[in-house]
């Protein structure tokens, strides 16, 4: 492993200062992606700036809005009963995330900043209409999560900026949801994943959000599917139409894990099943 220097600032202001002084430094949170990339030589930073001592980044607050500190680990999310009962999608994505060991290190913010098309937390947070707070030397800004991803490994973050908080609206009185994920074995990344979050009252679907992972350069909302389902009553013909439409909204690739064609078929099946399961979910 190429040697690097290691900094442990205790405030964001100190982190920004160090990042400004050392060109070639990069931030690190849990390290489960960054250290693997450094070890393989894919990244060669001359210094890491750990966010591990900035305690304001690890807060979890439920209130009029829910605020998840970017440095909260996947394990902390899973171990937070109020959070997972308000947002069952978070638990459904966190439970099969890596291994116990990885969940105790990997952070929610890190999973987003790593910007893998297959990131497990991305589809569920997209379906929950998450916004992200970003802080930099010039101040704080907020962007919708679906504007945060720019490509594989690429985000809206400017140099020196830090993703600090994931903000969620209350789930809604009639909220139903389902996350489905297909991988070959335990610990494997998703071949395809689909998250559905919607309101169901008097048999009608409203505020429909459908998101998919590992089927395009970025995790993405399936907006045509959402528009189709909005205001409708679920019946098999509608689900068939939603599934067909989903396959036309994605741009999967063929890689070592699956062919593009298989991912397209999986997306059709998972969209149909996720919407049906969300509607059948009892609350």
Stretch that binds another protein, among 93-101, 140-148, 239-247, 248-256 (CB under 8 A): 93-101
Is the CA virtual torsion 23, 36, 195, 213 positive or negative?
A: positive
Considering beta carbons, is residue 182 or 209 the nearer one to another protein? 182
DSSP annotation of 107 = B
Between strands 5-7 and 47-50, the pairing is parallel
Considering beta carbons, is residue 105 or 276 the nearer one to another protein? 105
Q: Which stretches does DSSP call E strand in 157-233? A: 162-168, 175-182, 192-201, 204-213, 220-221
**By CB under 8 A, is residue 232 in contact with another protein?**
no
Considering beta carbons, is residue 73 or 155 the nearer one to another protein? 73
**By CB under 8 A, is residue 98 in contact with another protein?**
yes
Phi, psi of 74 (to 5 degrees): -60, -35
**By CB under 8 A, is residue 100 in contact with another protein?**
yes
HSE at residue 167, side-chain half, CA atoms within 13 A, is: 12
Q: What residues from 181 to 200 belong to the interface with another protein (CB under 8 A)?
A: 186-187
For the beta sheet containing 175-182, the strands, ordered from the edge strand earlier in sequence to the opposite edge, are: 175-182, 192-201, 204-213, 220-221
- Roughly what angle, to the nearest 10 degrees, separates helices 260-280 and 236-249? 140
Considering beta carbons, is residue 65 or 187 the nearer one to another protein? 187
256-260's contacts with Cβ under 8 Å and 24+ in sequence apart are: 257/184, 257/188, 257/189, 257/191, 258/191, 258/192
Query: Among 14, 50, 207, 260, which residue sits at the site for another protein (rule: CB under 8 A)?
Result: 50
Q: Which residue has the tokens 């966190």?
A: 94
**By CB under 8 A, is residue 60 in contact with another protein?**
no
Stretch that binds another protein, among 30-38, 142-150, 151-159, 218-226 (CB under 8 A): 30-38
Q: Least distance (Å) from another protein to the CB of residue 193? A: 18
Stretch that binds another protein, among 101-109, 119-127, 217-225, 234-242 (CB under 8 A): 101-109
Query: Among 17, 22, 52, 143, which residue sits at the site for another protein (rule: CB under 8 A)?
Result: 52
**By CB under 8 A, is residue 24 in contact with another protein?**
no
Considering beta carbons, is residue 50 or 199 the nearer one to another protein? 50
Q: Which residues contribute to the site for another protein (CB under 8 A)? A: 1-6, 8, 30-32, 35-36, 39, 48, 50, 52, 75, 98-102, 104-105, 186-187
């Amino acid at each position: 492993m190429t040697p690097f220097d290691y900094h442990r600032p205790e405030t964001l202001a100190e982190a920004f200062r160090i990042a400004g002084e050392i060109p070639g430094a990069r931030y690190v949170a849990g390290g489960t992606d960054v250290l693997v990339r450094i070890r393989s030589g894919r990244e060669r930073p001359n210094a890491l700036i750990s966010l591990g001592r900035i305690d304001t980044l690890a807060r979890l607050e439920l209130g009029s809005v829910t605020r998840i500190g970017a440095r909260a680990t996947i394990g902390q999310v899973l171990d937070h009963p109020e959070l997972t009962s308000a947002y069952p999608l978070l638990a459904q994505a966190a439970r099969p995330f890596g291994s116990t060991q990885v969940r105790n290190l990997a952070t929610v913010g890190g999973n987003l900043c790593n910007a893998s098309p297959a990131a497990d937390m991305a589809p569920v947070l997209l379906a929950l209409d998450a916004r992200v707070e970003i802080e930099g030397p010039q101040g704080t800004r907020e962007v919708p999560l679906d504007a945060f991803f720019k490509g594989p490994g690429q985000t809206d973050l400017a140099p020196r900026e830090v993703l600090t908080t994931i903000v969620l609206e209350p789930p809604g009185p009639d909220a139903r949801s389902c996350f489905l994920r297909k991988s070959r074995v335990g610990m494997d990344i998703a071949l395809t994943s689909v998250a559905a979050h919607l309101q169901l009252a008097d048999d009608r679907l409203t505020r429909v959000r459908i998101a998919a992972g590992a089927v395009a350069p970025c995790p993405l909302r399936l907006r045509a599917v959402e528009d189709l389902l909005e205001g409708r009553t679920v019946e098999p013909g509608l689900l068939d139409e939603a599934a067909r439409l989903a396959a036309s909204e994605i741009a999967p690739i063929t890689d070592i894990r699956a062919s593009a064609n298989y991912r397209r078929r999986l997306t059709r099946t998972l969209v149909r099943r996720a919407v049906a399961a969300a509607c059948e979910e009892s609350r």
